[in-house]
Amino acid sequence: MTAVSPAPVPLPHADLHEIGRTVVMRGLRATGHTFNVPLDHRDTTSERIEVFAREYSSLEHDDDAVARLPWLLFLQGGPGGRGVRTTQLSGWMKAAARDFRILMLDQRGTGRSTPADAATLAALPTPQAQADYLSHFRADAIVADAELIRARLGSAPWTVFGQSYGGFCTLTYLSNAPAGIERALITGGLAPLAGAPDEVYRATFARVEERNREYFSWYPEDRELVTRIARHLREVEEHLPDGERLTVRRFQMVGSFLGGNTRVHALHYLLEDAFTTTPDGPRLSATFLEQVQGIVSRASQPLYALMHESIYCQGGASSWAARRVLDEYPQFRDDAAEILFTGEMVYPWYFEEDPALRPLRAVADVLAAKEDWGPLYDADVLATNVVPAAAAVYRHDIYVDRNLSLTTAAGIRNLAVWETDEFHHDGIADDGEAIFERLLGMTRP
């Protein structure tokens, strides 16, 4: 890597932004941008936080050509997911960099933006104060950040590409600031425009059960192995490398693999490492436990657990919706005879068994009880939308339900839908170049 610009010099005016050093890597240049934004965009006296974004462009364009390229804003999945870090252009980014400067946003609270985690929230005096602070970390605030950033970059309306939760944010963008968007691209991210989160979890529990059946039809030997692991965990204390006990319900979280096209098969490789023989009998191997900890820990993404149910809330409390809906699906209980893997549901016990989340249990309960969440979408604006938009809807998506997605699509004017069973939720990780080019083409005359 070679640095090609001098070290950044902080700008004196808080409302401007700092442009960092440009670094050249294999086929790309990357430049950091740090923006000073209000915590609450509705309050001119609000405290300030920082939002970081990294600009990527292709070396196929010289500096003058890059300066003339339009911007594409990428909104990552989550909530609580930082922007993609890449060292070479591939997949959808390779396709996008032919025509755009890519701005990879670290959504507020993530990555190099001002963090929101157990350490920083501890500075606030009460769980209620922490919850009040976190109420400014939803899609409406992310969109307001994006519009402020667009203005500071001097950009015309830009292309917005949202993956998963980034698609939810894109719908909020189309609702709140459509004049800032030239076109909108969404993959696996058409959120319900109304309704309680219970509806979401009923749909996704059913999808996850279907995906479990599909997985065990491919690897029938894993059905008995998973049952054996669960039985072992009930009878023998096994501890993750951080010292915490691995419980059955925490083991079920490795079902996150089920949301992938090819990643789902990596679950089989994980399970085949499960047991090792010791003088005291079979035990879970260190290799297996190390891998499981990396999957079940929220240490690097606490906002995912804290804010997950709130992304569906408009005018009502979540009240730990996934936990309540679980009662309707006893096959997912951790005491089932043949346990099933779970999806992305978040339960209160996460804040008991994950040491990274334990300090956040009180604020999580306050957020779950919060009833006065504001609106995230404007159905009337979306019904008259004039921004060209295209969305990939994955037929068997276990995270964003196909039927709910199509209901949302029907309420958005000028949105073209590509429904496919070729990909699962992480489709852009498998063939992002083709998916991006197809959606981009759907928004062009």
pLDDT score recorded for residue 5: 38
Residue 1: pLDDT over 60:
no
334/79 Cα distance (integer angstroms):
26
Question: What is the pLDDT averaged over residues 401-411?
Answer: 98
Residue 191: pLDDT over 50:
yes
73/102 Cα distance (integer angstroms):
6
Question: What is the pLDDT averaged over residues 235-239?
Answer: 97
| Residues forming a β-bridge with 102 | 56, 72
Closest of 115, 79, 138, 19 to residue 377, by C-alpha: 138
Domains of the chain plus CATH, in order, are: 2-192+377-442 (3.40.50.1820), 197-369 (no CATH)
Q: What is the pLDDT of residues 53-90, one digit of tens each?
A: 999 999 999 999 999 999 999 999 999 999 999 999 99
pLDDT score recorded for residue 370: 98
What percentage of the chain exceeds 70 in pLDDT?
Answer: 97
Residue 43: pLDDT over 90:
yes
Positions marked active-site = 164, 372, 425
Could you tell me if 18 and 113 are in contact, meaning their C-beta atoms sit under 8 angstroms apart?
no
pLDDT score recorded for residue 365: 98
Residue 409: pLDDT over 50:
yes
- Tell whether the torsion through CA atoms of 376, 400, 158 and 20 is positive or negative: positive
Confidence category of residue 40, pLDDT binned at 50, 70, 90: very high
Q: What is the pLDDT of residues 8-27, one digit of tens each?
A: 444 444 568 899 999 999 99
Could you tell me if 187 and 162 are in contact, meaning their C-beta atoms sit under 8 angstroms apart?
yes
pLDDT score recorded for residue 3: 38
Which residues does 305 contact at the CB level (< 8 Å), separation at least 6?
80, 298, 346, 350, 351, 354, 357, 360, 364
Residue with tokens 């939720």: 425
Single-letter residue type at 442: M
Residue 162: pLDDT over 90:
yes
pLDDT score recorded for residue 16: 80
Tokens of 334: 């951790």
Residue 152: pLDDT over 50:
yes
224/46 Cα distance (integer angstroms):
56
Opening angle at CA 67, ends 63 and 68, nearest 5: 120
Q: At what angle do helices 263-272 and 220-235 cross, to 10 degrees?
A: 50
Q: What is the pLDDT of residues 324-376, one digit of tens each?
A: 999 999 999 999 999 999 988 999 999 999 999 999 999 999 999 999 999 99
pLDDT score recorded for residue 15: 60
pTM, two decimals, is: 0.95
307/373 Cα distance (integer angstroms):
12
pLDDT score recorded for residue 47: 93
Question: What is the pLDDT averaged over residues 410-433?
Answer: 96
Q: Is 319 left (phi over 0), alpha (psi -120 to 50) or beta?
A: left
pLDDT score recorded for residue 445: 85
Confidence category of residue 49, pLDDT binned at 50, 70, 90: very high
